[in-house]
Structure formats: C-alpha cells, structure tokens
Amino acid sequence: MTDSHEHNPISFGKAFVIGIALNVGFVLIEAFYGWKTGSLALLADAGHNLSDVGGLMLAWAAFGAARLPSNARHTYGWKRGSILASFTNAIILLVAMGTLAWEAVQRLQLPTTIDAGTVMVVAGIGVVINAVTAWLFLAGSKHDLNIRGAFLHMAADALVSVGVVVAGGLYLWQGWSWIDPVVSLLIALVIVVGTWSLLRRSLHLLFDGVPDGIDTEAIHQTLLGLPGVVGVHDLHVWAMSTSDNALTAHLVIDDNLHNHDALLEKATTMLHDCFEIRHCVLQQESRVYAANCPIKEQC
C-alpha cells in the first residue's frame, strides 16, 4: 500500500486582506450614495458587495482551515471546509439575489427619480475596485473552487457596476424611471446564472462526487495498463478540498511481478501528472486474495 500526497504552497492571504479592505470601503460609499440618490441599483449592488465581503471572509477562513495540520481525530485536517465555504457562498448569493429581484419588482410598480450623475460616478468606482479584486484571485481560479468562487463574485460585481453606469446614462439620456429596477433585475439574473454552477459543483463535492475534469473510467484503464497489473477494483475518487483530490484503489498484481515499488512509483506519478491527483492510496493484492476480497462486489 502506498500513500502519496503533496501540498500546494501558494497562499492568497494578502489577496484576501486587500480584497476585503477595498470592498468594505466601497460598500460604505455605495450604500451612502445609494440612500442619498434613491438608487435601488446602487443599494442593491452595495448589499451584494456586502455579501461578497462576508463571502471573501468565509473563503479566507476556509482557505486557512484547509492548511491546518491533521491530527488523530481529523486525519484529513480541515480541508473539506473550503468546499463547505463555496456551497455557503452560493446559497448566500442566491438568497440575496431573490431579495433583490423582489425589491426591483416592487420598484417597477412605483418608479422614482434618481441622481443619475452621482450613481454613474459611484458605480464607476465600483468597476475599478471589483476588477482589481477579481484580478487578485485570477491566478488561483483555475485550480481551486473556493478561490474561483471569490474570483467569480468579484468579476460579476465588476460587470454589475458597468450595468449600473449604463442605467444611469440611459436615465440621463431618455429619462426612463423604470431603467433602475430593470437593471437590478438583470443584475440578479446574471449573478444567479453565474452562481448556479458554483452551487452545483460544491454540492456535488460535498457528497464525495468525482471532481470535474476527472474521468474514472480513464483512470481505471490507465491503471490496468500498467505492467504487472491484471485487475483494478474498489476505485474511488473524491475531493478532499477545493484544490486537492484523493484516490483509493485495489490493484490486482500478476504473481510474476517482483518490483512492486517500481509499479507504485509509476502509478502515483501517472495519477499526479495525468489526473492531478496528489493523494492516493493503492492496495496491491494477489489474484487469490482479490478473488475473495470482501468489498470487491460492493464496488
């Protein structure tokens, strides 16, 4: 049996600190001017940015928890916390957008005037702040679902702020009093669409689903193709965290194979290089033992 694992040294601690500080400051500015100008779009975006501050803090806490050392009672450490954080962030966003949509529908029935010039200036500041924050998480968004959640939130906020600027411009140009709540509804729709994937993927991982991009049949065939391997069973792949995948499998070994260590080295290297699985446990079995393996039929 072998246990192979590797830890990712990249830290986004500074990115979280900067992102949280920028967004807390902007939420205060946006909420004040949204109240002063009577803009639902600004108030809605401020509320969403506030939820993102909470989301960033949650993601940061989960990012740190995933790096806590394991112990006798938590043998995998707290890695699963990053998956839970992604799921919680998705739920918070969907609830917030449902509230926003309800308020926008109410405002459509009773349109009000807004100070469009101020709205455009404040939203323009939001474009810059959200774009900078999203850029801080761009590097890790391709490999870590938790970091990807933070990136998508900030990128979506930048687009939302662009929408608010456009709404303000249309109000100045045409005097459409309904444009502010309509933009708010579009904001909610865009964020729900972007968040749904995060919710689905994080829920899938919470129930030990096979991470996206990993083909278990391909892994099975690749292991089976290794010299000396005549059978593979009890193959399981799951996510230990949003950036670290694990695998267990039983390898049935030919009786004539003598260099078992070389086989294990090939298998773990292949799993790492081809499937990005950094933590694997492989149990080697003879044909006789495999024929009577107590869990073979269950898997």
Q: Are residues 180 and 279 in the same domain?
A: no
Looking at residues 221-232, what average pLDDT do you find?
92
Final residue before a domain boundary, out of 160, 179, 206: 206
Identify the residue with better confidence: 255 or 2.
Answer: 255
Residues 201 and 222 in one domain: no
pLDDT at residue 295 greater than cutoff 90: no
- Name the domain count of the chain: 2
> Domain residues for 234?
216-291
Highest mean pLDDT among 37-46, 111-120, 186-195, 248-257: 248-257
- Same domain? For 177 and 287 the reply is no
Q: What is the mean pLDDT of the chain?
A: 80
CATH (domain of 133) = 1.20.1510.10
**Which residue, 159, 184, 206, sits at the end of a domain?**
206
59 confidence band (pLDDT: 50, 70, 90): confident
If you average pLDDT over residues 228-232, what whole number do you get?
A: 92
Q: What is the CATH number of the domain that holds 241?
A: 3.30.70.1350
Task: Note whether residue 195 is domain-resident.
Answer: yes
- The whole-number pLDDT of residue 164 equals 78
Q: Same domain, yes or no, for 174 and 256?
A: no
- If one compares 242 and 6, the residue with the highest pLDDT of the two is 242
Tell me whether residue 296 is in a domain: no
Query: Does residue 125 lie in a domain region?
Result: yes
What burial class does residue 136 get, using C-beta atoms within 10 Å of its C-beta: 0-12 exposed, 13-18 middle, 19+ buried? Answer: buried
In a domain, 299, yes or no: no
Same domain, 17 and 55: yes
pLDDT at 109: 80
Alpha helices per DSSP H over 175-241: 179-206, 216-224
Q: For the sheet containing 245-253, what is the strand order?
A: 2-4, 277-285, 245-253, 229-239
Are residues 78 and 223 both part of a single domain? no
Say whether pLDDT at 238 is over 90: yes
Do both 232 and 199 map to the same domain?
Answer: no
* 94 plus 226 within the same structural domain: no
Q: Are residues 133 and 231 in the same domain?
A: no
Q: Are residues 48 and 126 in the same domain?
A: yes
Among residues 151, 183, 206, which one ends one of the domains?
Answer: 206
pLDDT at 294: 67
Domain shared by 123 and 237, yes or no: no
- The residues near 174 (Cβ < 8 Å, ≥ 6 apart) are none
